[in-house]
Structure 1
């Protein structure tokens, strides 16, 4: 399991507030912006990364839809915001963005091509394998597994994310293969060292760690474990820095973005 120390993630201070960066992505301008930047869209936030970069974001719908930036440019002629939950760059100086509150923002960089990707992956996107699908799309465009770097940003931790067992099973089926009974899927999941699920005191409930499921999905795509870093912050438990829908039931988001090189 990728288990980052605090040194793998750094807070960057600005006049507007603080945002996180990941050492693994040090060669790319990127940021996981905190709630300090409430109300500021990517078109403004990009100035903290690279004012010369163009900006791409989507109308997120908890899907497995991943777009290339050229496709977004075409579709934007028909609608203000294109629907989907992942964007892959095709040219230098393109910034791609994902919004999140408890879902996992995933930023991917390719040290071979310079391309980058931003993905919003909640439990629904994770259950539909949005991150592995993005990896396959990158590979179809010439990316090599050993060159792909993954930073999984602040999200709700499994210790505080209670879900129905049936929801957990949908998600776990992406990492536990075979025609297994539901109880056996849960039993196998409890045996993983990185704890994708934890038991819950309430009947028919479990605690689900979506980020750790994504971590296992990425490893299942033959990505080296050292190419994955996970932010040591829980959105639910860090109210001074992050919005959490599960905590407040308010529809606030924080943005995560990265610029292609």
Structure 2
């Protein structure tokens, strides 16, 4: 099966892609293009999947990723580091050609960013913890240090768990409302004492509040499309022993 790279029209001309599970070599619960080192998958299969992902999106580039910890930490990349030397962070930025920035997700929101005029790109892993903690704002700030202007940044929001698939409890809602009462509108009613959370909408609101106005959301639900995407929550609901991670990649032309 051919590797599927989903692209944003907003980032036309910038090598990038949101990849799902199609076109990989992994077997079992992680079957497909699993790019997650922490998935318990065969490391050789993960390495091959990552190689295929880069070739599908940005041939010849060197993939750089981080050890993701659901933080608000964004790091600049001036030269590649080995997979065993990945810093703990949840976003990367660079102005160096030849590098491909990659982040992995399995329901959390991948965001790829570019100021094409300044030649600066970024990739962010925005789960709810990172999003509410400021990972997108940190990514934009690091891009500005390299010469980007936030009014010129274009951001593509990739496959993530949709509101209809993301049930949360009262305590989860309160975490958000205690920080910002206006965030309550990202929660809609569900069964008793539960709500449906719009993570994609929340991420879009954080980008807008940060001054990024050129934004495209792909509107793809990881949970409800098991043939195309990995999903932590779906694997949990199915009592599966493990789950894969999809990778999102961006590089300079």
Q: Does the CA-based 8 Å contact 1:92-1:115 persist in structure 2? A: no
- Give the counterpart of 2:16 among 23, 27, 30: 30
Question: What's the CA shift for 1:137?
Answer: 1.9
CA distance in 1, matches of 2:183, 2:155: 23
- Distance across 2 between alignment mates of 1:242 and 1:98: 15
Name the residue aligned to 1:98: 103
What residue in structure 1 maps to residue 197 of structure 2?
208
Q: TM-score, normalised by structure 2?
A: 0.82
Q: Does 1:60 align with 2:78?
A: no
Q: Offset at 1:189?
A: 3.8
Aligned residue in 2 for 1:233 = 220
What do the CA deviations read for 1:63-94 (whole angstroms, capped 9, x no partner)?
11111113764xx59x5332211010131121
Instruction: Name the count of aligned residue pairs.
Output: 226
Structure 1 residues 70 and 231, CA, compared in 2 at 3 Å: closer, same or farther? same
Q: TM-score, normalised by structure 1?
A: 0.79
**Root mean square deviation of aligned Cα:** 2.1
Query: After superposition, where does 1:171-186 map in structure 2 within 5 Å?
Result: 171=176, 176=180, 185=181
1:125 CA displacement = 0.7
Which of these residues, 69, 78, 87, is aligned with residue 82 of structure 1?
87
Cα deviation digits, residues 202-241 of structure 1 (max 9, x gap):
32x22111111110011101222xx101112100111221
Distance 1:138 1:22 in 2: 20
The whole-number CA distance in structure 2 between the counterparts of 1:162 and 1:144 is 36
Gaps of at least 5 residues in structure 1 are: 1-14, 177-184
Superposition deviation, residue 48 in structure 1: 1.3
Which consecutive segments of 4 or more residues in structure 1 shift more than 6 A? none
CA contact (8 A) 2:104 2:247 kept: yes
